[in-house]
Amino acid sequence: MSRVLMTQFDFIDRADAGQKMLATFKPEILEHDVIVVVLPAAVEIALAFATEMTLPMRDLNIIRTRTEVSIPRIGDLAGLKVAVIDDGVESGSTAMAIGAMLRGASVQTATLVVPVCPKSVVPHLLAV
């Protein structure tokens, strides 16, 4: 990932988190060409962005098993600035897999936008 946008704020639910993230990060998100929404978890968060922004959005259905995370390709993203919206990061494994997929797709930049992420995980995300 090129950047990780997160902040420490209290939120009631995912919809509230989406509104607060939009209010905080809208200028940064507008620098991007497309928003990728991690499904199903980030739907409520992404609704805030969808109603306020005209950027195209693409869905990313994550396939998880006990032992691995599978990230499908989502079309031609080469050369684009991509913002990825998820509902949070715990260990970082899913976000790192998404970052690797985007790097393989030759995106120009990838920015992860989440309401919750351990500070200790951020350096690992930026290294992808």
What number is the average pLDDT over the span 34-58?
89
Q: In what order do the strands lie in the sheet with 3-5?
A: 3-5, 109-113, 81-85, 34-39, 57-61
**Whether pLDDT at 12 is above 90:** yes
**Whether pLDDT at 65 is above 90:** no
Q: How many helices (H) and strands (E) does the chain have?
A: 4, 7
User: What's the pLDDT tens digit per position in 79-120?
Assistant: 999 999 999 999 998 999 999 999 999 999 999 999 999 989
What is the reported pLDDT for 8? 73
Q: What are the residues whose beta carbons fall under 8 Å from the beta carbon of 17, sequence distance 6 or more? A: 11, 44, 45, 87, 115
What is the reported pLDDT for 63? 83
What is the reported pLDDT for 85? 94
Residues 99 and 1: beta-carbon distance below 8 Å? yes
What is the reported pLDDT for 128? 83
Query: Which is more confident, 78 or 8?
Result: 78
Over its C-alpha atoms, the chain yields an Rg (Å, rounded) of: 13
What number is the average pLDDT over the span 49-61?
89
C-alpha closest to that of 88 among 49, 34, 33, 125: 125
- Angle between the 14-29 and 43-52 helix axes, to the nearest 10 degrees? 50
User: Would you give the DSSP letter of residue 80?
Assistant: -
Domain layout of the chain by residue ranges: 3-126
Pick 3-126's CATH classification: 3.40.50.720, 1.10.10.10, 3.40.309.10, 3.40.50.2020: 3.40.50.2020
What is the reported pLDDT for 96? 92
What number is the average pLDDT over the span 68-72?
84
What is the reported pLDDT for 81? 96
What is the reported pLDDT for 100? 92
